[in-house]
Amino acid sequence: MTEPGAPPGPAVPGPALPGPALLFCPGDRPDRFAKAADRSDTVVLDLEDAVAPDSKAAAREAVAASGLDPGRTVVRVNATEPDRALDLAALAATSYRTVMVPKCSGPRDVAAVLEVLPDARVCALVETAAGVLAASSVAAADGVVALMWGAEDLVASLGGTSSRTPDGRYRDVARHARSVVLLAARAHGRAAVDAVHLDVDDVDGLEAEVRDAVASGFTATACIHPSQVAVVRRAYRPDDAEVVWARDVLEAARSHGAEHGGVFRHDGRMVDGPVLRHAEEVLRRAR
């Protein structure tokens, strides 16, 4: 675990979770596994909320028997025992090593995975009040590659009834949790995954949220339906004008000898280190 006061690590590049669009797929629907993997950047085979209690064993067997690309596959295990132990034991016999830990409330939940799968890459799903308060220590834990937040379980853990206001916007407590998880993830060099948009038909709302996620620093967004993947990819991909701006700014920095620091004026705007990093990030996403 990172020592308190240690300098933050670098921002996690794309390979931490390939591509910006994660797509959840029920673990008891093996007929959908390949399609979900083909239509997304990373598929999340779900053994938790998407599977009824009496289907857990069948889902576990289906995931263990599947043959998806382990580099583009995440498995969400159950949050409670004995199902979590059974999930991890099943994964030990597979090549799947990126594990999503739901309702992660602290580093101990990460350690429980590593005890069974020492080489696991953990995506910690922070979706309870305790998890939000412990987000920084979770992000600092060994084995963690990403943090994701979830609104519905969070509000349920508070005794609330809805994460959104009648006009569709997140309530303040959900927005606060989103910011806390993003800050904790990026401060420790982990990928940050934005929550799912449950209203599948609300394409405009999804696009607005994803564009805000991109501008804020999230590295991926989770989807619950294949139709959402194209919206997410489009929002994370810079348009031609953004790419031209980024290249022009970085070229201007080189011509001013300011690529490693300093301030200069370009097209009537002051450009300094943070602006150059914004431009570099635009080109990274374009690639």
Residue list, annotated binding site: 76, 127, 153
Dihedral of alpha carbons 171, 177, 178, 183, sign:
positive
Tell me the pairing of strands 144-149 and 220-223.
unpaired
Alpha helix ranges (H) inside the chain = 33-39, 56-65, 83-92, 107-116, 129-133, 135-140, 151-157, 172-187, 203-216, 227-236, 240-255, 273-286
In angstroms, the Cα distances linking 204 to 111, 197, 222 are 39, 11, 16
Task: Name the one residue in this structure whose structure tokens are 């394409």.
Answer: 203
Residues 280, 53: Cα–Cα separation, whole Å: 47
Side-chain half-sphere CA neighbours of 229 within 13 A: 18
Q: Give residue 268's region: left, alpha or beta (phi > 0; psi -120 to 50).
A: left
Q: Which residues in 88-115 are b (16+ Cβ under 10 Å) and which e?
A: bebbeebebbbbbbbbbbbbebbebbbe
Q: Which two tokens stand for residue 62?
A: 């289906």
Q: Which two tokens stand for residue 201?
A: 């038909």
Residue list, annotated binding site for substrate: 76, 127
First to last CA, the chain: 32
Residue list, annotated binding site for Mg(2+): 127, 153
Nearest to 4 by CA among 123, 139, 205, 146: 139
